[in-house]
Amino acid sequence: MKKIFILFLGCVFIQNHLFAQLIHISTQENSLIFQVTKQKKVMQSHYGKLIKNTQGLEDMAVVFNEAYPSFGNGNNDEVALIATHDDGTMATDLFYKSHQQEKEDNIQKTVIHLKDDKKELYVDLHFKAYAHENVIEQWIVVHNKEKKEISLSQFASSAIGFKATDYYLSHFYGSHSKEMMISEERLTNGIKIIETKRGVRTTEYENPTFMLSLNGAAKESHGEVIAGALAWSGNFRLAFQVDDKARCQMISGINSFASTYHLASGENFETPRMILTYSDEGKNKASINLHRWAKKYNLRAGNELRPIVLNSWEGAYFKFDADKLKNMMDGAAEMGVEVFVLDDGWFGNKYPRNNAKAGLGDWQVNQKKLPKGLDDLIDYTAYKGMRFGIWVEPEMVNPKSELAEKHPDWIVQRQNDRKMLLERNQLLLDLSNPKVQDFVFNVVDRLLTTHPKIAYVKWDANRHVQNFGSTYLSEKKQSHLFINYTRGLENVLKRLEKKYPSTIFQACASGGGRVDFSSMKHTHEFWASDDTDPYERLFIQWGTNHFYPPIATAAHVTKSPNHQTHRETSLKFRFDVAMAGRLGIELRPDDLDEKEVKFAKKAIALYKDIRPIVQFGDLYRLLSPYDEDGYAAINYVAPSKKEALLMVYSHEHHRRYERNFVKMQGLDPSLIYEVEEINTDSKKSHISFNHQLISGEILMNRGIWVDLRRPLESAVFKISETK
């Protein structure tokens, strides 16, 4: 067959009917299109803006890459799959067998069946497209139908290609108390890899998310952007390769580091989901797509308002008794708090949990601290008109504990009598072991069964995998530990979700160590960071909410000076920052003076009024704290567009004539709104037109001046439609 190659705008097109059929995965605004060649290869030809009429595409297509590139078929780039067969063969060449598509309501499901041409190795590419949210999930299932074992040493969830003049990658990194910082860089030829090998708390230093801007640096409200997130709580790897033809290929999935997976005859291997969305209206539209999708499909009770919590940790730490806790409850109830959460330190008797060195794993109530037990506290909380929550860390164990003495074989451990490596004086239980999964499940199940009025569980995890080794896994399958641990955790969370559908669960891992779409699917919220300094939180929450919705972002008001940074901030500034997520409190109420208690009561009552806008509305990022002008601003818009919030922060000193100029987004330009400053601590407003009527068109296109001059000063405005 004659081949004609036509060069057009730097792209190679292949004609003369080399392509036989299209597989079109679509949402309302996005298209992901594959083509099946006459040689039965499945190739990606488009990912981006919706193509309604695909006529001609089957004959003329830009070929990005194979839908699922494998090792050993002539591909010298990054590959998605490496499989070694029993006879030593490592080459895999996947060909199209068939595909199915079905659509029900908002969701289109697609499965593309591939098979190796020489071996009984089958690979199914699964896609779920959410029409209204413009989100596509992809995952892979590998089937071993050979008579003997196959070893998988690479197993990506997704392989997507892009074509642009240049690429700018935003990725999200940090450390303990400095999570979700943003780095943007221009990709050049070669491979950029974002990965973690920590096993647990995997999002503390890197997050399995990215935003890739095409044809220029990323902008909030314009330009082409692809946003992606891997729904996996374990080790991950995102690889971006730019080749000599200026094509970019992104391969994402579980990090195969130390994780060769042995697949017996008849077994399947399923990868986690890769979540993707495309926007031609900049980063913010991509974020809104992900937030809307998460609240509807990937967050427990995403349609239910989150309560205001007071957590005992920064108010009491390990040093408390029942009287001290009840005193905190008194203050919490007076301020209007809805859930009181007892944090670490309530358990252990032989080895009491008076610090981080002992007791972890022994989940019986400490009789010295709490001689009347938990029910005494739970009943008192109810008497005060609140619900009760509790902290657990059931995956972990102190060497100084009854559990470690009784079940040393349950601990993840280095073999051949190597010294155990401690982190925060604790070790990790082996969740690849079903008995350990049952134990971890039973820790929480026993609490919730014995004390059915517990309404909230804070699930923590405070170390990485460092003592690599399992007494449960066979010698040959030690490399399954990273993956099976994460799957074991997911199994436990699913069991608890099923049995306790109304109990609120928070994912915490030394702060933001479990901020991912896998954990979020089985929990109601996450603890974004142990850093509660509101200045630091401006940056942490800014990065976090690029992907994860504010309704799930726990943000707490703590004492000043802050216990991490020792920075002093006003109570108003602390509330104004925390109100941008799920508002909570983390201090002793009696540390506040009378004036501060009065302000806190007013602020909490206000949040109860505005939280439907924050938790169910769309978030628009207006002014970045990363910019040099020293301001940050966001606004929320209710689904009806009849209500909105504007939050503006000054985090640097500004000279006499400098003012913050803000243009809102997402309003209805035809509506007339009343602009009212709220959560004030003085009679003077930060705008000259408080309570005046302004059209949505002016608020978005002309903007308003906000008079913020001092560092760590803020203003919040409610924008309401007038009749």
Q: Is the per-residue pLDDT at 1 higher than 60?
A: no
- Which CATH number is associated with domain 5-297? 2.70.98.60
The residue length of the chain stands at 723
The confidence score (pLDDT) of residue 462 equals: 97
Tell me what the mean pLDDT of segment 690-695 comes to: 93
Q: Give the C-alpha separation, 689 to 685, whole Å.
A: 9
pLDDT score at 235: 98
Measured in whole angstroms, the distance separating CA 269 from the mean position of its chain's CA atoms is 24
Predicted confidence at residue 653, as pLDDT, reads 85
Q: Determine the average pLDDT of the residues in 375-380.
A: 98
Which of the 8 DSSP states describes residue 479? G
Where does 321-393+436-464+499-616 sit in CATH, by number? 3.20.20.70
Among 402, 287, 306, CA closest to 353: 402
Q: What is the pLDDT of residue 615?
A: 98
Return the bridge partners of 128, or none.
109, 137
Q: How confident is the model at residue 3 (pLDDT cuts 50, 70, 90)?
A: very low
Give the C-alpha separation, 210 to 610, whole Å. Answer: 30
Q: What pLDDT does residue 63 have? A: 64
* Number of alpha carbons in the 13 Å side-chain half-sphere of residue 666: 25
Q: What is the pLDDT of residue 19?
A: 55
What pLDDT score was predicted for residue 326? 98
| Superfamily of domain covering 621-721 | Golgi alpha-mannosidase II (2.60.40.1180)
Q: Using CA atoms, how far apart are residues 29 and 135, in angstroms rounded to an integer?
A: 10
In the prediction, which pLDDT does 60 show?
A: 66
Which one from 516, 530, 533, 618 is the annotated catalytic residue?
Answer: 530
What pLDDT band is residue 138 in, cutting at 50, 70 and 90?
very high
pLDDT band with cut points at 50, 70 and 90 for residue 267: very high
Q: Each residue of 696-720: pLDDT tens digit?
A: 999 999 999 999 989 999 999 999 9
pLDDT of residue 684: 87
pLDDT score, position 656? 62
**Residues 111/100, Cβ–Cβ less than 8 Å:** yes
Is 530 among the catalytic positions? yes
Across the chain, which distance is largest between two alpha carbons, in Å? 87
Q: How far apart are the first and last CA of the chain?
A: 70
Q: How confident is the model at residue 10 (pLDDT cuts 50, 70, 90)?
A: very low
Question: Could you read off the pLDDT of 270-303 as tens digits, one per residue?
Answer: 999 999 999 999 999 999 999 999 999 999 999 9
Residue-averaged pLDDT of the chain:
94
Contact 574, 565 (CB under 8 A): no
Q: Where are the domains of the chain?
A: 5-297, 321-393+436-464+499-616, 621-721
Q: What is the mean pLDDT of residues 52-65?
A: 78
The residue ranking higher by pLDDT, 248 or 4, is: 248
Q: Which residue has the higher pLDDT, 30 or 709?
A: 30
In the chain, the percentage of residues whose pLDDT exceeds 70 is 96
Nearest to 621 by CA among 665, 675, 570, 577: 665
The per-residue pLDDT for 683 is: 81
Judged against a pLDDT cut of 60, whether residue 500 lies above it is answered with yes
Annotated catalytic residue 344:
no
Statement: residue 7 has pLDDT above 50:
no
Neighbours of 105 (CB within 10 A): 7
pTM of the model: 0.95
- Say which range, 18-27, 436-445, 503-512, has the weakest mean pLDDT: 18-27
pLDDT digits (tens, 9 = 90+) for 581-606: 999 999 999 999 999 999 999 999 99
3-state helix vs strand vs coil in the chain, percent to 5: 20, 35, 45
Q: What is the mean pLDDT of residues 418-424?
A: 94
pLDDT of residue 388 exceeding 50: yes
Residue 704, SS3 per DSSP? strand
**Residue 435: helix, strand or coil by DSSP?**
helix
- At residue 246 the predicted structure's pLDDT band, cuts being 50, 70 and 90, is confident
Instruction: Give the alpha-carbon dihedral of 587, 592, 595, 601, to 10 degrees.
Output: 30
The span from the CA of 334 to the CA of 13, in Å, is 70
Other C-beta atoms within 10 Å of 167: how many? 24
Question: Active site residue: 343, 344, 430, 460, which one?
Answer: 460
Count other C-beta atoms under 10 Å from residue 322's C-beta.
Answer: 16
Measured distance CA(321)–CA(354) in Å, rounded = 11
Helix (H) or strand (E) holding 599: helix 594-616
Locate 13 and state its tokens: 């097109």
pLDDT digits (tens, 9 = 90+) for 212-228: 999 999 899 999 999 99
